[in-house]
Amino acid sequence: MAVGTPNSFADELPKLSVRQLKGAKVAFAHGQELVFESAGLRFVTKSIDGTSALIVWKDEGEYRHQAIDFTGIDLRHGERPAFACPVTGKACYDLYLYRYVWASAKGHGRPRATKLGNRYDRQQVQLEAIRNRLMGLEGLPKVRGARRRALVKKAQAIPWGTRVFPELDAIAVEIDRVDGKRVARAYRSKRSDSPYSTEVALRLAQRHELAPTELGAAELLNRLGHDGLAAAHNVAVPGRPLRKLESVPALDARVLSRLWARDRVWSTALAWPDMATGAVSIWWLATDLRDQACLIAGIRPFGSNDADVQRLELRQAGAYKPNNLVFVCPILGTRHDILYLRDGFFASAKAHRLVHASQRG
């Protein structure tokens, strides 16, 4: 059958883009072949030499073929490959099949929907172009980043867009997931700037030139083998008042994991400022990671005796983070990236009844 009607737009006809041939290395090559489908027909394009190619297709049970020539358009940054229209003889980037002849839209006298069509025609062509960009069709690379989000938003503005572009919803969900991760990273970066974060505690300790001695770290680790250190009694009381999570010191295993990766036996000082009094609270932290079956850490305030040492149990974060460790809450026994200090004891936010400032109403 002859594809197209006298009133059809060029966008509704079978189309061959020079970008398709360029991506398949058919243009200006020898012996390369490209098989593509357009408007329900299957076409085979094979380069004859560096200046021409042959298109073969089957229509109404009969094989048809046509030779097309390549040319170039001189641009400021170099020459861009193009077709030589068999009807007008002028360079063009796209050829359309109408009445068994491949030629440019101008050569066929076919208008484009984007120029002369109604709003439905223009939106349909626009959706097809967006779909090709998002999915990497017709020899186009997949668009990424902010441009990808903008194209999805543009396609979603068309009410019936998913009927023409059924993959749109899945792509939108994927972009939302990526954006959610970016927001989470931004939140973590803001949390690291908090005066109660682990990063600030490490920097403040270095500024005050605080460093535990090797003997003191060894004694602290030795005390971890004793029972009854920093018991958790009377710590998690259901009637305790809620407190803002952002206003208490935080011990972040994700930050410390980068330091634990270098040394299996490791110790450091942590210094958190007291925003109310202006004083600095100093803590000693020591870890022993030599035995993978028993990963332990101990922490105690500066100037206290051994009875104030709190034992912190560590676990591997899992296969998704092979080099990271997580804390085990000493009260609830659950795994957490961050433990918080309240009333001289480190535990999870739930155990300490800590909530975000935005949740306090």
113 and 159 in a single domain? The answer is no
Of 192, 209, 234, which marks where a domain is finished?
192
> Residue 111 carries which DSSP code?
P
Is-contact 254 337, C-beta < 8 A? yes
Of 66, 92, 117, which marks where a domain is finished?
117
φ, ψ dihedrals at 138, nearest 5° = 55, 40
φ, ψ dihedrals at 319, nearest 5° = -65, -30
The reported pLDDT for the residue numbered 157 is 84
Of 102, 117, 132, which marks where a domain is finished?
117
**pLDDT by residue for the chain (361 residues), tens digit each?**
445 555 566 667 888 888 777 766 666 667 778 888 877 788 888 887 878 888 998 887 889 999 999 888 887 777 888 899 999 999 988 898 888 899 988 888 877 655 555 667 677 778 888 888 888 876 667 888 888 888 888 888 888 878 778 888 888 888 888 777 766 655 554 455 677 888 888 888 777 666 555 445 555 556 554 443 444 444 555 567 888 888 889 998 888 887 776 667 778 888 888 766 777 888 888 887 777 777 878 888 876 655 578 888 888 887 767 678 889 998 888 999 899 988 888 999 888 888 877 765 5
The reported pLDDT for the residue numbered 232 is 46
272 and 126 in a single domain? The answer is no
210 and 176 in a single domain? The answer is no
Indicate the number of domains in the chain. 3
* Rounded Cα distance, 28 and 34, in Å: 13
* Rounded Cα distance, 348 and 334, in Å: 8
Is-contact 53 26, C-beta < 8 A? yes
The reported pLDDT for the residue numbered 324 is 81
Question: Phi-psi category of 100—alpha, beta or left, where left has phi over 0 and alpha has psi -120 to 50?
Answer: left
Range of the domain at 25: 1-117
* Rounded Cα distance, 52 and 65, in Å: 13
Q: Which of 233, 246, 273, 254 is nearest to 360 (CA)?
A: 246
Is-contact 299 327, C-beta < 8 A? no
The β-bridge relationship of strands 33-38 and 62-75 is: unpaired
